[in-house]
Amino acid sequence: MDLLSDILAHMRLRGTLYFRTSFTSPWGVKVPSFEDVSRFHYAHTGRCFVRIDGVRNPVRLEQGDLVIIMRGAAHTLYCDPTTEEQALTLDRVIEESGFSGSGTLVFGELDTHHETQLVCGHFSFETNANHPLMDALPAYIHVANYGERSGTWMEHTLKVIGAEAGRNQLGSDLIALKLSEIIYAQALRDYLDSAGAKEPVLAGFADRRIAGALNAIHGDPGKPWSLETLARHVGMSRTSFAAKFSETLSMTPHAYLTYWRMQIARRALEETDEPNIEIAEMVGYQSEAAFGRVFKKTFGNAPASYRRQSRDMVAAE
Mind listing the pLDDT tens digit for each residue in 235-276?
Answer: 999 999 999 999 999 999 999 999 999 999 999 999 999 999
Give residue 159's pLDDT band: very low, low, confident or very high (50, 70, 90).
low
Average pLDDT over residues 285-304: 95
Q: What is the pLDDT of residue 212?
A: 95
Residue 119: closest CA among 192, 63, 76, 169: 63
> What's the confidence (pLDDT) of residue 45?
87
The helices-and-strands tally (H runs, E runs) of the chain is: 14, 11
- Which of 46, 165, 55 has its CA nearest to residue 116? 46
Cα 177-313-39 angle, rounded to 5 deg? 30
pLDDT at 5 over 90: no
Q: At 194, which helix (H) or strand (E)?
A: none
The sign of the dihedral angle between the CA atoms of 130, 173, 92, 115 is positive
103-147 tens-digit pLDDT:
789 998 876 668 999 988 888 888 777 888 888 899 999 988 876
Overall average pLDDT of the 36-65 stretch: 92
Q: What is the CA radius of gyration of the chain?
A: 22
DSSP tag of 207: S
pLDDT band per the 50, 70, 90 thresholds, residue 16: confident
pLDDT at 180 over 90: no
| Helix runs in 250-285, H state only | 253-271, 276-282
Of residues 116, 187, 176, 195, the one with CA closest to residue 147: 187
Separation CA 212–CA 142 (nearest Å): 28
Domains by residue range for the chain, with CATH: 3-197 (2.60.120.10), 207-316 (1.10.10.60)
> Roughly what angle, to the nearest 10 degrees, separates helices 253-271 and 288-299?
90
pLDDT of residue 37: 87
Task: Give the pLDDT band (50/70/90) at residue 181.
Answer: confident
Task: Answer whether 253's CB lies under 8 Å from 227's CB.
Answer: yes
Alpha-carbon span 137 to 123, nearest angstrom:
14
Q: According to the model, what pLDDT value does residue 220 have? A: 95
**What percent of the chain lies above the pLDDT cut of 90?**
52
Q: What is the mean pLDDT of residues 46-71?
A: 93
The predicted pLDDT at position 47 comes to: 93
Contact 44/139 with Cβ under 8 angstroms?
A: no
Q: What is the pLDDT of residue 182?
A: 78
Mean pLDDT of 153-176: 59
pTM of the model: 0.81
The Cα–Cα gap between 278 and 288 comes to 9
Report the run of H or E that residue 192 belongs to, with start and end: helix 172-193
